[in-house]
Amino acid sequence: GQQLNQSPQSMFIQEGEDVSMNCTSSSIFNTWLWYKQDPGEGPVLLIALYKAGELTSNGRLTAQFGITRKDSFLNISASIPSDVGIYFCAGPAYNTDKLIFGTGTRLQVFP
Amino acid sequence: DAMVIQNPRYQVTQFGKPVTLSCSQTLNHNVMYWYQQKSSQAPKLLFHYYDKDFNNEADTPDNFQSRRPNTSFCFLDIRSPGLGDAAMYLCATSRSSVQETQYFGPGTRLLVL
């Protein structure tokens, strides 16, 4: 079945640094979603991408839908302590009623 | 301006004692989902409603049931909770199909004693 692999699995960075994480699949996706989950909370949608090559920003966050439709990346610029959490990519599986989630990237930001 | 609301946020139950978790939404979305999430893992879909049509995942245990009495509300019933059912339970909605963006509630953390 379709799977989404995220890397890195975890990141430990200093406040102010830029962050880059990505999501890859062996299958094509028509939509890429990036969610952030704080401890004890539900995932919050950060960015939604609907077209191959699309580059979208949301404040300090930038995400791109890969040209091949098999990957996406999320960048965070000038990280701050509240960026701490788990970041999930997700996309609807082809021809099924299911949202496939990536394995997650855990981000820790040190002051 | 909460859009997907889950109650309670924390639920403690005893082994084998039925428990119901609730979800409501103000988005008027057709599709509602229930996910189970265990520590450090991605959410796992249990089932979803497309309007009134119930769609169960093949690997969802019979112990888990759901009700959707109207567009706004959806309930997760765990008939006989076991220790392995302790998890975060997430409700989500999407406007009209799974192919659309899903919006999650804050979750209910279930503890089974």
DSSP string, A54-65: -EEEETTEEEEE
Average per-residue pLDDT for chain B: 93
Q: Is the pLDDT of residue A99 over 70?
A: yes
In DSSP terms, B32 is beta-bridged to B49, B93
Q: What is the pLDDT of residues B8-61, one digit of tens each?
A: 999 999 999 999 999 999 999 999 999 999 988 999 999 999 999 999 999 999
Q: Counting one residue from A and one from B, how many pairs have CB atoms under 8 Å apart?
A: 53
A40:B107 CB<8 A: yes
pLDDT given for residue A98 in this prediction: 81
Residues of A near B (CB-CB distance < 8 A)? 30-31, 33, 35, 40-45, 48, 86, 88, 90, 92, 96-99, 101-104, 106
Q: Note the pLDDT of residue A97.
A: 64
The predicted-structure confidence for A56-90, as pLDDT tens digits, reads as follows 999 999 999 999 999 999 999 999 999 999 999 99
Q: How far is B49 from chain A (nearest CA, A)?
A: 10
CA A45 to CA A50: how far, in whole Å? 14
**Structure confidence at residue B97 (pLDDT):** 75
Contacts of A99 in chain B (CB under 8 A): 45, 98, 102
